[in-house]
Structure 1
Amino acid sequence: MTVMPTAKLKRAAAALLALVGWAAIGLQYYLTMKTSGVMGLSQIEGIVRFFSYFTIQANILVALVLTAFAIKSGPDEWLVHPFVRSAVAAYIAMVGLVYVVLLRHLWALTGAQWIADVALHYVMPVGYLAFWLTCVRKTGLRWYDPLLWLIYPLFYLGFVLVRGKMSGFYPYPFIDAKTLGYAGVAANTAGLLIVCAALGGCLVVIGLRLARRQPA
């Protein structure tokens, strides 16, 4: 006999994972601002660069959704809608996958930066996906939702490319227009969007299968 987690246990798990997420984001913010100071960047530039990373944005979304789930307050109800929290699952899965495949070999981290790196790229993606699978409602997902979920990554790409043109800073090497040119960035982006849509499609298929067995 399978024992489903109670509502109280689900909210406790959401709160615990949210706490880990906020702590990791806070630690990475501190480290980023410290590095920005060493590089001679202004505080504003350091803040903008911090929020320019898709990893940071996705982890903030995860922490917000988990916090809203734990609190269950009326104004935050949209954050626990299946469409939103499943979209966030696709984004954070993309963070983990891209990091493992493309980025983790680019540097060797130690100390506090290693802790932040592991939390943001491993613990939170795995933790949130496990939470999504076992604790949240899936009813209401639609087959075309993964296409709608691409709107945010496209908006993000437009922002970093425009700002990169002005500042010369690109948060990831695979969207560095200075090195790759816009044609190279377009090719890389197309591949990443296809992967993101595929991840979203997998989540929808899994979600629809689980919807019948999970309580609303």
Structure 2
Amino acid sequence: MSKTQLYRLLVAILGIIGVSMQIYQDGWGMLLYYTVLSNILVFSFMLYLVYFERKNGPINAFTGLLRTKAGVTMAITITHVIYHFMLAPLVEPQEFWNVRNFLVHYIVPIAMILDTLFLDKKAVYRWFDPLLWTSVPLIYFGFALLNGMVIKLPIPGAVDSPFAYFFINVYKYGWANVLTNTLVISIAYILVGYLLFLLKRFIGKRA
């Protein structure tokens, strides 16, 4: 097993540990959080990459897989960014300074970002890829609104349950604010996607 495969396996294991701690401590309702779902996406994809490379060789020979991997990277990047800038300032110290929080909001996202930046081949993305990458959070936002307004499954620890996050609570803040929040996050997501697109023109392996 190569060093790259070992690194990705380690990231997957850390992701599994983080998600398992979330579910063990607060129940299966944690699966309604984007944070948990995006971490599941990462560790599942990392395990697949380890399996794929053992059968087919380095993923840098497969452009389509690299473009998909960038989408997974963006999906976990928003987990880190939104938590750090919008949610972390609102949580109690004991909810911030613990292993499970750092695993799912910092360690796994940053490890995935570093993997994509430095281990993947550069200059493989297409100009429209950052637009496609927004599909993951938009699908989640649609589901989160559906749960908050129709399904109403309770979400552990969420002040605005059955809404997972305060900024999508249409009953408290109204449609105008929720749609504005969604638009701002989407634009920021696309801009970060194009930042990744630009960085990968210069950073990464040649082959």
User: What's the TM-score, normalizing by structure 1?
Assistant: 0.81
The 1:107/1:70 distance shift into structure 2, 3 A limit, reads same
Q: Which residue of 2 aligns with 1:23?
A: 17
Answer yes or no: is 1:56 the counterpart of 2:36: yes
Deviation string 1:119-158 (CA, Å, 9 cap, x unpaired) is: 1111111111111112223453101101111122221111
Task: Measure, in 1, the Cα distance between the counterparts of 2:189 and 2:120.
Answer: 21
CA displacement at 1:214 relative to structure 2: 2.6
Q: Which residue of 1 aligns with 2:192?
A: 199
Answer yes or no: is 1:84 the counterpart of 2:76: no
The 1:112/1:152 distance shift into structure 2, 3 A limit, reads closer
Aligned length: 192
The answer on whether the counterparts of 2:118 and 2:203 sit within 8 Å (CA) in structure 1 is: no
- Which sections of structure 2, spanning at least 5 residues, go unmatched? 153-160
Q: Which residue of 2 aligns with 1:9?
A: 3
CA displacement at 1:209 relative to structure 2: 2.5
Aligned counterpart for 2:206 among listed residues 192, 211, 214: 214
What is the CA RMSD across the aligned residues, in angstroms? 2.4
The 1:176/1:74 distance shift into structure 2, 3 A limit, reads farther
1:40-51 alignment, distance < 5 Å: 47=28, 49-51=29-31
Task: Measure, in 1, the Cα distance between the counterparts of 2:32 and 2:97.
Answer: 18
Task: Measure, in 1, the Cα distance between the counterparts of 2:96 and 2:191.
Answer: 34
Task: Measure, in 1, the Cα distance between the counterparts of 2:113 and 2:46.
Answer: 12
- Which sections of structure 1, spanning at least 5 residues, go unmatched? 1-6, 34-46
User: What's the TM-score, normalizing by structure 2?
Assistant: 0.84
The answer on whether the counterparts of 1:82 and 1:139 sit within 8 Å (CA) in structure 2 is: no
User: Is the partner of 2:124 in helix, strand or coil?
Assistant: coil
Q: Which residue of 2 aligns with 1:136?
A: 120
